[in-house]
Amino acid sequence: MAREKVRKKTPKQSRKGGTRKNGGKPPHSKSGAKPRHARVTAAAKGTSPERLRAILEKLDEAYPAVTCALRHENPFQLLISTILSAQCTDVRVNQVTATLFPKYPSPEALAYANPRELEKEIRPTGFFRNKTKSVMGASKLIVEGFGGKVPQTMEELLTLPGVARKTANVVLGTAFGVASGVVVDTHVQRLAGRLDLSRQEDPKKIEQDLMQVIPRDRWILFSHQLIWHGRRVCQARKPRCAECNLERLCDSKDKVI
């Protein structure tokens, strides 16, 4: 019986001459996923030292000594006002706290308040039920866990109901002069993008970007300056570019000049 010649199978070659596996498909084509580097957010290009120095100088010219617009007499009042300011203007919060704080002058008073009555007091700030829970919960923890004093560290402040990094940064920076981070509210988020200081959308990531490029001794003032500029000039819907002293440093697609 004649012996048949057995041909040894060899891997098929791709058109480019390489060995093709997985049925001849490129390794990434099975899931359709793009290479990892293609999914990384591009870094902001507007953070050169010269440009940053110019931006800070212009902000100093326009807002040399601005501070938090929320009226308060002590750290506790600032904490409560900042909690109430979520999705609400500072003007409205100041109107509410003008009668709220005399009626509830201490953490104890708010911690053990009547929830229904407190809801009525803060209703104009919006989301009043959730805010009532946060205000009472934070006040109670301050009384029972911190001896009636507002804590002075980021870690401790974040244990309070209704407190995230933005609120903690406001309290630490304004009430205690502690530069623990950069306050990122809606104004700072908008301006950081328009000035190409960050291309992130998440507030935590925006804060990290700003902390990398803004000197630490400027974090507190810089936050207030951007917030004031966002309210007065670089507004969301109709930015007043003709009045903006940063206009020559801005290449935002939202410019109207």
Secondary-structure percent of the chain, ordered helix, strand, coil, rounded to 5? 55, 0, 45
Query: What is the spatial distance between Cα 209 and Cα 65, in angstroms, rounded to a whole number?
Result: 24
End-to-end CA distance of the chain: give it in Å, rounded.
92
Q: Which residues lie below 8 Å from residue 65, measured CB to CB, with a gap of 6+? A: none
Per-position DSSP letters for 146-172, written without gaps between them: STTS---SHHHHTTSTT--HHHHHHII
Report residue 49: phi and psi, to 5°: -55, -40
Known catalytic membership, residue 255: no
Q: Which of 8, 12, 140, 185 is catalytic?
A: 185
Residue whose tokens read 């609400």: 88
The verdict on whether 133 is a catalytic residue reads no
Query: SS3 for 27?
Result: coil
- The Cα 77–Cα 67 span in angstroms is 15
**Residue that has been written with the tokens 């990892």 in this structure:** 36
Spot the catalytic one: 166, 202, 209, 254: 166
The residues that are catalytic are: 166, 185
